[in-house]
């Protein structure tokens, strides 16, 4: 019986070591593969994905490391505040500032007849049009015209720029 327990413990240790050796990082932290595994920055230069996400290695031993609970939020605060202000006529259902998602319920704009709902996704910390994505839907379930969505996005971007100027960081 004792021999089976020792054999089982050795088998588990061997399996864990085999799993730990699956990490594909060398001493410099670069991927062992070619340039195809690298992300690109805004200019198009290759950048390691760890530099973009701030992630550590990708081995099983990272599960046992210390938890980094002071994660930086990557959402532009001006776009966030402007989105909430511009769409304040819509009831908020869900907000997640860590992923940059605002989901609203149906509501009527001031002076409007149709009900709309919106989902706002802020993807980047930059105050830029590429950072903002708005999806809208009518109460009948149909998509809103692209012109209306563009007008809402423009209103959010304009308000975000106004908030930034008022903040004095321009």
Q: What tens-digit pLDDT sequence spans the chain (170 residues)?
A: 677 777 677 776 677 666 666 655 544 444 444 444 445 554 455 555 444 444 545 666 666 666 655 555 578 899 999 999 999 999 999 999 888 999 999 999 888 788 999 999 998 888 889 999 999 999 888 888 999 999 999 999 999 999 999 988 65
- How many helices (H) and strands (E) the chain has is answered by 4, 6
- Pair of tokens at residue 126: 């930059």
Residue 126: predicted pLDDT: 87
Separation between Cα atoms, residue 152 and residue 161, nearest integer Å:
14
pTM above 0.85, yes or no: no
State how beta strands 116-122 and 101-104 pair: antiparallel
Q: Is 47 helix (H, G, I), strand (E, B) or coil?
A: strand
Residue 72: predicted pLDDT: 57
100 conformational bin, left if phi > 0, alpha if psi -120 to 50, beta if neither: left
118, containing H or E segment: strand 116-122
Q: What is the 8-class DSSP label of residue 58? A: -
| CA distance to 3, 28, 53, 55, 80, per residue, from 25 (Å) | 37, 8, 16, 13, 37
Measure the N-to-C terminal CA separation of the chain; round to a whole number of Å: 74
């Amino acid at each position: 019986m004792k021999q089976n327990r020792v054999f089982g413990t050795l088998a588990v240790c061997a399996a864990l070591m085999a799993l730990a050796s699956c990490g594909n990082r060398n001493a410099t932290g670069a991927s062992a593969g070619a340039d195809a595994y690298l992300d690109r920055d805004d200019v198009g230069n290759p950048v390691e994905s760890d530099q973009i996400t701030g992630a550590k290695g990708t081995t099983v031993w990272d599960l046992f490391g210390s938890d980094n609970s002071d994660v930086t939020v990557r959402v532009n605060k001006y776009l966030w505040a402007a989105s909430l202000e511009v769409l304040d006529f819509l009831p908020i259902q869900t907000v997640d500032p860590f992923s940059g998602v605002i989901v609203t319920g149906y509501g009527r704009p001031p002076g409007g007849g149709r009900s709309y709902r919106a989902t706002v996704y802020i993807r980047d910390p930059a105050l830029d049009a590429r950072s903002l994505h708005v999806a809208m839907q009518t109460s009948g379930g149909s998509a809103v015209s692209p012109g209306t969505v563009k007008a809402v996005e423009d209103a959010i971007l304009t308000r975000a720029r106004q908030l930034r100027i008022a903040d004095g960081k321009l």
